[in-house]
Each structure stands twice: as C-alpha cells, then as structure tokens.
Amino acid sequence: MSESSGSSTGTSSTGAAGGESSSGGAQAQAAAAAGTDAGAQDTQGEGSAEAEKVKPEGEKAEKKENTPKEGEESAEGGEKKEEKPPHKYHERLTKAFPDRKFEKDEDYDSAMDEHLTSLEDYREKGKKANQKLLAVFESVPEAGEMVRDLMAGATFREAVARHFSAEDFTPTDGDPDYEGWTKNKTEREEKMNKRREFEKNYAANLEAAGKELEAFAKEHNLDEKATDEFLESMEKTLEDFNNGKITKDTLTLMRRAMTYEQDIKDAREEGRIAGRNEKIVAQREKEPDQTGDGIPKLGKSPDSPDGEEHKGGYFEGLRDRMKDRGIIAPDR
C-alpha cells in the first residue's frame, strides 16, 4: 500500500512537473510569436517611413496644394466660393467696344443697345446700296460683268477691254449724255492737271527744304541727333494741327514765332531805356547832397555868370552888383 501510494505520489509529481514544463514551452512559443509580430510591425513601420521618403516630388507638391490655406475652408468643412460667370455677351461686346469697362449688368445692356442700333443702321444702308447696284447692273449688264472680272483679279483696263470698246465711252453731239460727258471729262482733266502740278511742286519743295534744313542746322550748330529731335517736335505740332488738336502751349509757340522780331525790338528799347535810367540814377548818386534848411547857398546867384565864384558869399556879390549899377557909391 505504501509503495503504491509512493508510486502514485511520484507519478503525480512527475505529471505536475511535465505539465509545468509543457506550460512553460507554450508560453515561450507565445512570447516568440509576439516578438515576431512586433518585429514585423517594426519592419513594416520602417518600410512605410522609407516609402514616404522616396515618394515622388509631384505627389508631395500635390499634397501640399490640396492642403487648405489658413482662413480658407476645406471642401469637407464648407462650400468653396464660386466666381461669378461673365455676361453671356461679354466676349462680343468687349470685341465691339474694346475701350470700355463692363462692371455691372447695366453696362452690358447699354452697350448691347448701342451695338444693335449700329448693326441695324449698317444693314439698312447695305440694303439701299444693294438695290442701287442691282438697278445699275440690270440697266447695264456689261458693268456687272466688268465688276465681276475686277473681283476675280483683272485690272481695270483688262476688264474694260473685255466688255467695252473705246467708242462706247465717246458720245457724239446730240446724244442725251453728251453734255454730262463733256462736263465730267473737263473736270477730270483739270483735276489730273492739278495733281500733276502738285506733285511737281512737292518734289521741288522737298529738294529746297533739304537745303534749307542743312543751312539751318549749320547756322545753329545742330548735329544730326539734335536736328532729328527738332524735326520730330515740329512734325508733332503740325500733326496736332491737322488733327484739330490745339493747345495753349501750341498757340504760345506759334505766337512767339510770329512776334519774334517785334519782341526783340521791344526788348532792346526797354534795355536802352533801362540803361539810360540807370545812368541818371548813377549821376544823381554822385552829386552832393542838396538837402538843407531851405535857404539858398550864398556862393551863387542867378544873376552871376556861370562858373564865377564870389568871395564873401551872397551879400558880397550883391554889394558888387549894386555898385556896378550905381545904387551905392563905389567907395563904400
């Protein structure tokens, strides 16, 4: 009994020890597995960091652009502010009126009314012109054919020679259009002669102007640059006149040019007078001071000869004159 009991006890101890050994092995396996998982997680984290480092620059820039700025709401946090679309006729009206600013609907409405009115007027004038041309081409079909040749690239004389003869343009006396033809022919010849005369004079004037310009530049010591600047300034002034632009500065410039000679003459006269006045003032400044008590000086008398001085003053001279006149005795 005792041996069995001991054997049982030994067996139990051995089983207990074996169970503890089995439990310890399981714990070790679990710990190893946990370490493996942790290592895998660490490895995954390091891989993610490395992947983040090697991301293309384009993806980083895109991420940066998608980040909402301070003061702006994100797409999820709020609605994005939308720009107001332009007026539906914005492109047409800005093309028709490039110098105008369109800031409100009334600006577009006003411009549209003006644009439509202009188009309607143009269309109406075009209708009238087309009606007149149709009437001409119906009455003279050759004229329409000639215009068609001109539009196709023919010269005027080529088109005329194809559809008309020289006799067609020369009426005889008694024809209904002879008087009008003669009048128009005379006016055309006079206009042509005037134009030829103008071109001839213009060429001669240009040649003379070149010589005058060279003399002017030499007289005023102007180099080529200064001469060009002077001509550009004068050309701008003349262009303003031709365009109807007249300013006070332009009028002042023209007046000075027209009154230059008289202004020089007046300035010389003013200078002469001023110089003479300065001379008079200088002479007066050299004279002794004539101010006093109001009593005449005794050295001179109106009756005494110029330059004569009398010793004794005024009264001595008076006595001498009285002696000469016999008023008092000479011995006194």
CA dihedral 211, 217, 219, 220 (to 10 degrees): 160
- Determine the pLDDT at residue 67: 52
Unique residue bearing structure tokens 């005058």? 212
163, 142 contact by CB (below 8 A): yes
- Determine the pLDDT at residue 42: 47
H helix intervals, the chain: 2-53, 57-66, 90-96, 105-139, 141-151, 156-163, 178-219, 224-242, 248-258, 260-286, 313-324
- Determine the pLDDT at residue 45: 47
Q: Give φ, ψ of 175 to 5 degrees.
A: -70, 150
Report the alpha-carbon distance of residue 298 to residue 309 in Å, rounded: 10
**Cα dihedral sign, 251-255-257-263:** negative
pLDDT per residue over 45-91, tens digit each? 444 444 444 445 545 444 555 555 544 444 444 555 567 778 888 99
pTM of the predicted protein model: 0.37
Q: Which of 294, 316, 288 is closest to 304 using CA atoms?
A: 316
Long-range contacts of 226-232 (CB under 8 A, 24+ apart): none
Report the alpha-carbon distance of residue 210 to residue 212 in Å, rounded: 5
pLDDT per residue over 129-178, tens digit each? 999 999 999 999 999 999 999 999 999 999 999 999 988 888 888 899 99
- Determine the pLDDT at residue 18: 42
With a cut of 50, which residues of the chain have pLDDT below it? Answer: 1-55, 58, 60-62, 70-77, 302, 305-310
Domain boundaries, the chain: 177-246, 247-284, 299-332
- Determine the pLDDT at residue 265: 80
Report the alpha-carbon distance of residue 189 to residue 195 in Å, rounded: 10
- Determine the pLDDT at residue 235: 87
Report the alpha-carbon distance of residue 324 to residue 328 in Å, rounded: 9
